[in-house]
């Protein structure tokens, strides 16, 4: 068990570190060839921060562990709202622009309902997964064209400014290669540790994916949201969470399912996607101020954290072995 826990911890640390290494090298390479700051921020940095979730879910699906693949994606969504947004609101109440209510939240709610429809059959087929990827591509093209999630972004202004423009071309290639190799290796190490832990505790790999793996792969979003709050960019702190949930629901699950169709345990719909939908809906309730935008207050942040704690406690209680 000690070996499994060590594998999970080391895998998570290496996963986050190598993701940063890969993103920095890719962004420096793009800047070297004259790619605009907007594309660097929107595509390279934006997608790069979600590499941990994507690699974990894809490798889990390919290795025949769909519970970790789905648990990582949906568990990360629950952690993003309940844990990460809850902590962020406790640090500083999060202002919610009216545009969030008109575009981003309805879009995420619709995508959550689509996910519920797909998993209700008990499986995600390759055709459904490809449909998710196609929908995500359409949303991304619309986003880039309209600059909705770009919003001059923190990702473009802040992240792109931090890219070492003077990085030698050889070093950029080296960082990309090393980052990718370590990403793949650390993802495999993390999955091995998660499966071993699930067997040791006699719980499903879905529970491990929803808890340990999901929280670990969501830590970069916590860092980004807190950094945005410190810079008084409340729209980015919230947009970071909503964008990550959209990516997890469509791109992460879609890519994993397109490579290998996945059976979906019945409790995913009745428990996990239901909680995900209710937490998304709660953002309408907590932040709405008669169409003028509002804010997620500290009491609302506390409520989100308590909801996440209750959900996690229920997972642990339901998975705990009962005496015979």
Number of neighbours of residue 216 by Cβ within 10 angstroms: 23
Query: Is the overall model pTM greater than 0.85, yes or no?
Result: no
pLDDT bucket at 164, cuts 50 / 70 / 90? low
Residue 37 has pLDDT above 70, yes or no: no
Alpha carbons 28 and 51: distance in angstroms, whole number: 17
Residues spanned by the domain of 258: 2-319
CA distance 77 to 245: 5
Look at 33-42, 115-124, 136-145 and tell me which has the smallest mean pLDDT: 33-42
Is 93 a domain residue?
yes
User: Who has greater pLDDT, 41 or 197?
Assistant: 197
Look at residue 250 and tell me if it is in a domain.
yes
Asked if the structure places residue 298 within a domain, the reply is yes
Angstrom distance (rounded) from CA 307 to CA 81: 10
DSSP run (H or E) holding 95: strand 94-96
Q: Is there a domain that residue 136 lies in?
A: yes
Q: What is the mean pLDDT of the chain?
A: 80
Give the chain's domain count.
1
Residue pair 10/189 in contact (Cβ under 8 Å)? The answer is yes
CA distance 132 to 286: 29
Please compute the mean of the pLDDT values over residues 191-217 and round it to a whole number.
81
Assess if residue 116 is contained within a domain.
yes
Asked if residue 123 is part of any domain, the answer here is yes
Over range 294-313, report the average pLDDT. Answer: 92
Lowest mean pLDDT among 72-76, 184-188, 310-314: 184-188
What is the CATH number for 79? Answer: 1.20.1420.30
Tell the burial category of 1 from Cβ atoms under 10 Å away from its Cβ (0-12, 13-18, 19+). Answer: exposed
Structural domain contains residue 324: no
* Range in 103-112, 149-158, 194-203, 271-280 with the lowest mean pLDDT: 149-158
98-123 CB burial, b ≥16 within 10 A, e <16: eebbebbbebbeebbebbbebbeeee
Tokens of 44: 């390279």
């Amino acid at each position: 068990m000690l070996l499994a826990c060590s594998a999970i911890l080391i895998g998570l640390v290496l996963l986050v570190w190598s993701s940063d290494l890969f993103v920095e090298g890719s962004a420096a390479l793009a800047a070297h060839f004259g790619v605009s700051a907007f594309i660097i921020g929107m595509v390279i940095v934006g997608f790069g921060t979600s590499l941990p979730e994507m690699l974990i879910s894809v490798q889990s699906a390919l290795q025949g562990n769909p519970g970790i693949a789905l648990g990582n994606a949906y568990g990360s969504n629950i952690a993003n709202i309940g844990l990460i947004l809850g902590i962020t609101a406790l640090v500083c109440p999060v202002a919610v622009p009216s545009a969030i209510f008109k575009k981003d939240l309805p879009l995420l709610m619709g995508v959550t309902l689509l996910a519920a429809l797909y998993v209700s059959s008990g499986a995600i087929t390759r055709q459904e997964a490809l449909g998710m990827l196609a929908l995500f591509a359409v949303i991304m093209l619309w986003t880039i064209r309209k600059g909705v999630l770009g919003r001059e972004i923190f990702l473009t202004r802040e992240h792109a400014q931090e890219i070492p423009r003077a990085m030698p071309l050889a070093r950029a290639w080296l960082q990309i290669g090393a980052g990718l190799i370590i990403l793949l290796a650390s993802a495999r190490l993390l999955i091995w540790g998660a499966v071993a832990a699930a067997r040791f505790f006699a719980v499903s790999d879905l529970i491990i994916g929803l808890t340990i793996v999901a929280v670990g792969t969501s830590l970069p979003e916590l860092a980004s949201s807190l950094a945005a709050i410190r810079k008084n960019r409340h729209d980015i702190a919230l947009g970071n969470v909503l964008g990550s949930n959209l990516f997890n629901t469509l791109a992460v699950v879609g890519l994993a399912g397109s490579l290998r169709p996945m059976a979906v345990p019945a409790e995913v719909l009745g428990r996990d996607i239901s909680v995900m939908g209710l937490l998304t809906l709660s953002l309408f309730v907590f932040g709405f101020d008669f169409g003028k935008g509002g804010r997620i207050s500290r009491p609302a942040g506390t409520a989100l954290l308590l909801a996440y704690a209750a959900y996690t406690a229920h997972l642990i209680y339901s998975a705990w072995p009962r005496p015979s």
